[in-house]
Structure 1
Amino acid sequence: MGHGGDVIAELTADHRELEALFAQIEAQPVDHPQRRELADRLTAELVRHSVAEELHLYPAVRKHLSHGAVLADKELADHAKIEQMLKDLEGRHADDPQFNDIVAKLKFEVASHVRGEEHELFPKLAASFPPEKLDELGRLVRRAKEKAPTRPHPSLPNTPPANKLLVPGVGLVDRVRDLLSSRTTTD
């Protein structure tokens, strides 16, 4: 969950972790129950990652980058699409015929989003932000992931100030639900 380094290193490490989780899901037999557990971990990591970006990265992008509002809005639209897919996946068993379709579509959307961030957004950040600001954003992102929800909430606001007020409480409720249901959200 928390990898260290500046915001680019932190989020890039998250991307590799997500790719590894998709590979682990795909390595399991089609209807194996382990796929559900891995999908829960994937969901938690994606939600934490997205929330941290929405709380700290995209507001900075919007404020400090040329055409930052357009970039941030595109990223938020990607998140909304991915979060709805996660909501559609939630509660489905590994032997549900829709499970594999949703995972495949989700993998495609996440890969597309990751490419956009790593090839367009991150180079712009590196060129526009001083190293201290990138380090500060990395710390803020790591802290946000610790308190972020672990389940998809498509109706939760994804921009400040509403998300900064609501996310910690929703994250707490999710972690209690995970504990009570024995849902696996980490290694």
Structure 2
Amino acid sequence: MTATRKDARGSRSRAEILRLVAAKVSYDEIGRRLGIAPGLAYLIATGLPADGSDAPTADAHEWPGFLGSSQHLANPEPAENTTSREAVRRWVHARVEADAAMREAAARRDAVPPEQPFGDVEPDVVDVLVRDHNQVTAMLKQLATIPGAQKGGTPAQRSARASIVDLVTVALSRHEAAEEQALWPAVRQVLPAGDALADEALAQEQHGKEILQALAHLDGTAEEDGERFDDLVEELSAACRTHVAFEEKVFLQLREQMPRSDRVDLARTLDRARRHGPTRPHPHAPSEPPAVDVAGALGTAMDRMRDVAGSRPADRRGRPSADAERRTEQGAEQATESEDGD
């Protein structure tokens, strides 16, 4: 077969898939009709792997056939979680109970990655923001290793995921508020295309705030919220990958255009804003000076009052709640009794 014939066949396949997408046919059904995997149908239609390994561009949401969350196409069958096997759970539980050091380590372990030191040189704004990115990325990677509702996660696992999501919410809320107050105004002033870059970044951050707000309205441990919670987590992870890739291109330009002394001064300003920033998303608040400063102070005050008034999942630092652990143990006991009865 010649290359021309191959190209023509590929064009027809993509056109056929896009016609079905326009007709509101799901990728699962498209795959069934064409005899291919749903993830392959998505790749042909959009040029993007369904597993999210290639971060989409900022305008990808406008592409025909693009999905905010496509991981389910790459892994259509729920992955087996070996820790959901009762025999495995009993073995792990017995090992931990028999080893005091393991019990102590398990009690201390949490999902908050340690902050990496900068060394003897005072960090500039890029150093500070890249460390923020690394912290959030590490938590999202931990999150991806814990089964959610769609993969048969236990109540304890779903509770741990809810706690990590709340930790990410705190980190991103502070990070983005600090950028709004310090970084993007500087980008507008220093870089030749600063206005366009800042506008695009703020639009991406607004999308992230809306996802975090939607997650905040769900109980990640509840059966009725589980699937929607998992879908939003995937959407958040994809949005973070896109935003980090975009920002780090901006950082390269800043290092070229802004003197180091100015970058260090900006790092100090940004760090102060972050430490005193909000701990929850405020998607309806102004995001540009001078209004952002007032809105940020008000948002921070409200968030601190809410944090003091009651506990939140982030307080567990990625650990499951006692209630979720108890329900998981009860489920394991019931499964054991059922097996013994059979």
Q: TM-score range by the shorter chain?
A: over 0.9
**TM-score in terms of structure 2 length:** 0.52
Q: What is the CA RMSD across the aligned residues, in angstroms?
A: 1.7
Shift in Å at residue 139 of structure 1? Answer: 0.8
Give ranges in structure 1 of 5+ residues lacking alignment: none
Give the aligned partner of residue 59 of structure 2. none
Give the aligned partner of residue 180 of structure 2. 54
CA deviations on 1:6-34 (whole Å, 9 max, x unpaired) are 11000000001011111122222314211
Q: Does 1:42 align with 2:168?
A: yes
Shift in Å at residue 185 of structure 1? Answer: 4.2
Shift in Å at residue 2 of structure 1? Answer: 9.9
Equivalent positions of 1:96-111 (< 5 A) are 96=225, 97-111=227-241
Moved over 3 A (4+): 1-4, 184-187
**TM-score in terms of structure 1 length:** 0.93
Q: Label 1:156 to 1:174 Cα distance change in 2 as closer, same or farther (>3 A).
A: same
Q: How many residues align?
A: 186
- Residues 147, 172 of structure 1: 8 Å contact kept: no
Amino acid at match of 2:195: A
CA deviations on 1:28-87 (whole Å, 9 max, x unpaired) are 231421111111110111111111111000000011110110000000000111111111
Give the aligned partner of residue 140 of structure 2. 22
Pick 1 or 2: higher relative contact order, CA cutoff 8 A, min separation 6: 1
Q: Distance in 1 between matches of 2:180 and 2:295?
A: 13
- Residues 47, 152 of structure 1: 8 Å contact kept: yes
Q: Distance in 1 between matches of 2:214 and 2:295?
A: 22
Q: Distance in 2 between matches of 1:27 and 1:143?
A: 33
Amino acid at match of 1:155: H
Give ranges in structure 2 of 5+ residues lacking alignment: 1-114, 150-157, 318-342
Q: Does 1:165 align with 2:294?
A: yes
Give the aligned partner of residue 146 of structure 1. 275
Higher helix share: 1
Q: Does 1:130 align with 2:256?
A: no
- Residues 92, 99 of structure 1: 8 Å contact kept: yes
Amino acid at match of 1:18: V
Q: Distance in 1 between matches of 2:297 and 2:281?
A: 14
Q: Does 1:83 align with 2:195?
A: no
- Residues 45, 185 of structure 1: 8 Å contact kept: no
- Residues 56, 140 of structure 1: 8 Å contact kept: yes
CA deviations on 1:90-145 (whole Å, 9 max, x unpaired) are 13122421111001011001111101111x20110000111111101111111111
Q: Label 1:184 to 1:7 Cα distance change in 2 as closer, same or farther (>3 A).
A: farther
Percent identity, aligned pairs only, is: 34
Shift in Å at residue 172 of structure 1? Answer: 1.9
SS of equivalent residue, structure 1 residue 92: coil
Amino acid at match of 1:43: T
